[in-house]
Amino acid sequence: MRYEIEPGFFIGAMYVSYAITVGMMLVTGFLLYHLAGNPEAWVYITTVVGLFIMTLPLIFRTARIIYIYSFSGVDYEPEKYLKKAS
């Protein structure tokens, strides 16, 4: 197995990160609208941007994990490694 990252890996992971971020922003806006009773625009902006900045490291790593397991053919087989250890 080659341990090199393919050239389009980070671009593909950026698409996954974008989808996660847009989903998070939509859910946050929906919850704000229904729980806070249609607040002003600055409340939406500061809440969404603040949440995005706080979760950015998590989204960054999660997007790469989702992309590599979905599209690169890498599988985790714990029974394979347990047999080697015994």
* pLDDT score for 26: 93
Q: What is the DSSP string of 51-77?
A: HHHHHHHHHHHHHHHHHHHHHS-----
pLDDT tens column, 3-57: 666 777 888 889 999 999 999 999 999 999 898 888 888 988 999 999 999 999 9
For 37, the 3-state DSSP assignment is coil
* pLDDT score for 62: 93
* pLDDT score for 52: 92
* pLDDT score for 16: 93
Q: How far is CA 45 from CA 14, 38, 48, 77, in A?
A: 22, 13, 5, 43
Q: Given a cut of 70, is residue 84 above it in pLDDT?
A: no
Evaluate if pTM is beyond 0.85: no
